[in-house]
Amino acid sequence: MTATIPSTTAEIIGRVPTDLFIDGRWVPAASGATFAVDNPATEETLTHVADGDATDARRALQTAVDHQAAWAATSPRSRSEILYRAYQLIIDRTDEIAAVMTAEMGKPLPEARGEVAYGAEFFRWFAEEAVRIGGDHTITGDGANRIVVTRQPVGPCILVTPWNFPLAMGTRKIGPAIAAGCTMVFKPAELTPLTALLLTDILREAGLPDGVLNVVTTSDPGTVVGEWMTSGRARKVSFTGSTEVGKLLLGQAAGSVMRTSMELGGNAPFIVCADADVDRAVDGIMVAKMRNMGQACTAANRIFVHRSVIDDFTDELAARMTGLVVGDGSADGTQVGPLVEAKAADKVAGLVDDAVGHGARIVCGGRRPAGAGHFYPPTVLTDVHPGAELMHTEIFGPVAAIIPFGGPDSDGLDEAIALANDTPWGLVGYAYTQDLDRADRLSTELQVGMVGINTGLVSNPAAPFGGVKESGLGREGGRLGIEEFLDVKYVARPIRTS
Ligand code: NAP
Ligand code: MG
SS3 of the chain: the string is: CECCCCHHHHHHHHHCCCCEEECCEEECCCCCCEEEEECCCCCCEEEEEECCCHHHHHHHHHHHHHHHHHHHCCCHHHHHHHHHHHHHHHHHCHHHHHHHHHHHHCCCHHHHHHHHHHHHHHHHHHHHHHCCCCCEEEECCCCCEEEEEEEEECCCEEEECCCCCCCHHHHHHHHHHHHHCCCEEEECCCCCHHHHHHHHHHHHHCCCCCCCEEECCCCCHHHHHHHHHCCCCCCEEEEECCHHHHHHHHHHHHCCCCEEEEECCCCEEEEECCCCCHHHHHHHHHHHHHHHHHCCCCCEEEEEEECCCHHHHHHHHHHHHHCCCECCCCCCCCCECCCCCHHHHHHHHHHHHHHHHCCCEEEECCCCCCCCCCCCCCEEEECCCCCCHHHCCCCCCCEEEEEEECECCECCHHHHHHHHHCCCEECEEEEECCCHHHHHHHHHHCCCCEEEECCCCCCCCCCCECCEECCEECCECCCCCCHHHEEEEEEEEECCCC
Judge whether 169 and 240 are in contact, CB under 8 Å. Answer: yes
Q: Which atom of ligand 1 is nearest to the CA of 241?
A: 30
Nearest CA to ligand 1 atom 21: 221
Options 96, 263, 470, 484, the catalytic residue:
263
Q: What is the percent of the chain with per-residue pLDDT over 70, rounded to a whole number?
A: 99
Is there a domain that residue 92 lies in? yes
The answer to the question of residue 494 being in a domain is no
Same domain, 25 and 77: yes
Q: Are residues 186 and 72 in the same domain?
A: yes
Q: Is the pLDDT assigned to residue 304 strictly greater than 80? A: yes
* CA 430 to centroid of ligand 2, rounded, Å: 27
Same domain, residue pair 348 and 430: yes
pLDDT at 159: 99
Distance 207 CA to ligand 2 centre (A): 32
Ligand 1 atom at minimal distance to the Cα of residue 471: 41
Instruction: Determine if ligand 1 sits within 6 Å of the CB of residue 278.
Output: no
**Which atom number of ligand 1 is nearest to the Cα of residue 246?**
3
Distance CA 360, CA 132 (A): 53
* Model pTM score: 0.97
Nearest ligand 1 atom to alpha carbon 244: 3
Phi then psi for 285, rounded to 5 degrees?
-70, -30
Residue-level pLDDT at 1: 47
Q: With cut-offs at 50, 70 and 90, classify the pLDDT of residue 8.
A: confident
Instruction: Please name the residue whose Cα sits nearest to atom 43 of ligand 1.
Output: 297
Average pLDDT, integer, range 422-442: 98
pLDDT (average), residues 288-299: 98
Residue nearest to atom 39 of ligand 1 (CA): 263
pLDDT exceeds cutoff 80 at 167 = yes
| Cβ neighbours for 142, distance < 8 A, ≥ 6 positions apart | none
- Answer yes or no: do 142 and 241 share one domain: yes
Between the CA of 244 and the centroid of ligand 1 the distance, in Å, is 9
Ligand nearest to the CA of 476: 1
Q: Which atom of ligand 1 is nearest to the CA of 188?
A: 9
96 Cβ closer than 6 Å to some ligand 1 atom = no
Q: Examine residue 34 and state whether it is found in any structural domain, yes or no.
A: yes
CA 161 to ligand 1 centroid distance, Å: 6
Region 432-437 average pLDDT: 98
163 lines ligand 1 (CB under 6 A): yes
> Residue 124's domain spans which residues?
7-264+473-487
pLDDT at position 38 over 70: yes
Residue 222 CB less than 6 A away from ligand 1: yes
Mutation pick for ligand 1 pocket among 165, 242, 250 (CB with most ligand atoms within 8 Å): 242
Measured in Å, residue 498 CA sits from the centre of ligand 1 at 60
Checking if the pLDDT of 336 tops 60, the result is yes
For residue range 169-189, list pLDDT tens digits in order: 999 999 999 999 999 999 999
Which CATH number characterizes residue 236's domain? 3.40.605.10
| Ligand 2 mean position, distance from CA 245 (Å) | 9
- Active-site annotation holds for 190: no
pLDDT of res. 438? 98
Question: Is 352 found in the same domain as 250?
Answer: no
Chain Cα centroid distance, residue 340: 15
Catalytic residue among 157, 182, 297, 364: 297
Q: Give the CATH number for residue 341.
A: 3.40.309.10
Report whether residue 241 contacts ligand 1, using a CB cutoff of 6 Å: yes
Residue 493 lies in a domain: no
Q: Are residues 289 and 245 in the same domain?
A: no
Distance 219 CA to ligand 1 centre (A): 13
Q: Is the CB of 314 under 6 A from ligand 1?
A: no
Q: Are residues 442 and 306 in the same domain?
A: yes
Q: Tell me the percentage of the chain whose pLDDT exceeds 90.
A: 98
> Is 251 near ligand 1, meaning CB less than 6 Å away?
no
Q: Per the domain annotation, does 496 fall within a domain?
A: no
Contact indicator for 490, 148 with CB cutoff of 8 Å:
yes
pLDDT at residue 157 above 70? Answer: yes
- Determine whether the shortest distance from the Cβ of 481 to ligand 1 is under 6 A: no
Closest ligand (CA of 240): 1
Same domain for 242 and 285, yes or no, is no
The type of residue at 447 is Q
Contact 161 CB / ligand 1 (< 6 Å) = yes
Whether residue 454 is contained in a domain is answered as yes
- Cα of 388 from ligand 1 centre, angstroms: 24
* Confidence bin at 498 (pLDDT 50/70/90): confident
Decide: 217 in ligand 1 pocket, CB within 6 A.
no
pLDDT value, residue 497: 78
Average pLDDT over residues 219-239: 98
Better-scored residue on pLDDT, 100 or 497? 100
pLDDT of residue 496: 84
Q: Is 71 in the pocket of ligand 1 (CB under 6 A)?
A: no
Report whether pLDDT(360) > 90: yes
pLDDT tops 80 at residue 3: no
Same domain, residue pair 298 and 420: yes
Residue 263 is among the residues annotated as catalytic for this protein: yes
The string of pLDDT tens digits covering residues 251-285 is 999 999 999 999 999 999 999 999 999 999 999 99
How many whole angstroms from 265 Cα to the centroid of ligand 1? 9
Q: Is residue 302 part of a domain?
A: yes
Let me know whether 55 and 198 are in one domain: yes
**pLDDT(2) > 80:** no
Which pLDDT belongs to residue 194? 98
| pLDDT tens figures, 389-399 | 999 999 999 99
The mean per-residue pLDDT over the stretch 59-72 comes to 98
The verdict on 70 and 136 lying in the same domain is yes
* Residues in CB range of 250: below 8 A, 6 or more apart: 260, 262
Number of domains forming the structure of the chain = 2
- Over range 356-369, report the average pLDDT: 97
Name the pLDDT band for 146 (thresholds 50, 70, 90): very high
**Closest C-alpha to ligand 1, atom 19:** 222
Mutation pick for ligand 1 pocket among 164, 167, 425 (CB with most ligand atoms within 8 Å)? 164
- Please indicate, yes or no, if residue 497 is contained in any of the structural domains: no
Q: How confident is the model at residue 7 (pLDDT cuts 50, 70, 90)?
A: low
Name 231's Cβ contacts closer than 8 Å, sequence gap at least 6.
58, 61
Handedness of CA 200, 203, 209, 212 (dihedral sign): negative
The whole-angstrom separation of Cα 352 and Cα 367 is 10
Domain check: are 226 and 243 in the same one? Answer: yes
Q: Is 104 in the pocket of ligand 1 (CB under 6 A)?
A: no
